[in-house]
Structure 1
Amino acid sequence: MGKDAKGGGKGKGKQAGGSEDGGAKGKGKAGKAADGLGTCTYVKARHILCEKQGKINEAYKKLQDGWLSNGDKVPPAEFAKIAAEYSECPSAKKGGDLGWFPRGKMAGPFQEVAFNTVVGATSPPFKSTHGYHIILSEGRKN
């Protein structure tokens, strides 16, 4: 599955301007369309979920102190450690791993952030109906 998200025949078709993807990209934001933001069908992500804003801010500060303040991307293994320590979601046992999920499966703000975070990037904390989240985007595919 990971190979599809990074390259292969489908990836080359996008670069060549295939008609299916070209139409979707034309409707997206010019700078972000090349990344497939907002146009992909599936996202692979990890997350941290906390009921209280203070706790999610603590987790985000750890990410900032370790990587984000230096402009680095948080390695998935390190994000997983912080998710296991801070997240109140059952996925914490798996380092916050949500696996691949399709557009439409997650509700409101969570889906919006998940599908608009660049692969490898970590979202700032945000609120949903379930609490406060931080998302690490690990992949996207159609």
Structure 2
Amino acid sequence: MKAAACHILVKTKAQADKIKKELDRGANFQALAKKYSDCPSAKKGGDLGEFKQGDMVRAFDNVVFKKELLVVHGPIKTKFGFHLIKTLYRN
């Protein structure tokens, strides 16, 4: 199975919660990713492109391959920090 997703990666749950609130109020995901994300994908608005199941850490995969599409999920904690994840599609 493959999927495409974008995410925002930050160091603290408090910061992720704050960004999630902005998103819930209608803020632009890509703009916030460019502004806040610690991932190199920030330059592309958090876009991670297409990847296969198993390419990402388990907690990340569980969201991308099991949760609702086009909804921002998180904060999800991994060894990298706290993610806000939006799955664009999967097949």
* Structures share fold, TM-score greater than 0.5: yes
Normalized per residue, which structure has more helix? 1
Q: Could you say which structure has the larger radius of gyration?
A: 1
Task: Check if 1:45 corresponds to 2:5.
Answer: yes
The count of residues paired between Structure 1 and Structure 2 equals 91
Q: Where has structure 1 moved over 2 Å in runs of 4 or more?
A: none
Measure the CA separation in 2 of the matches of 1:108 and 1:119: 18
Q: Unaligned stretches of 5+ in structure 1?
A: 1-40, 68-77
**Post-superposition shift, 1:117?**
2.3
Deviation by residue 1:47-104 (Cα, 9 ceiling, x = unmatched)? 000011121111111011227xxxxxxxxxx211111111111100000000000011
2:73 match: secondary structure: coil
* Mapping of residues 95-110 of structure 1, within 5 Å: 95-110=45-60
Q: 2:65 aligns with which of 115, 122, 133?
A: 115
Task: Check if 1:94 corresponds to 2:53.
Answer: no
* Mapping of residues 29-68 of structure 1, within 5 Å: 41-66=1-26
Counterpart for residue 134 of structure 1? 84
**Post-superposition shift, 1:133?**
0.3
Q: Unaligned stretches of 5+ in structure 2?
A: none
2:54 match: secondary structure: coil
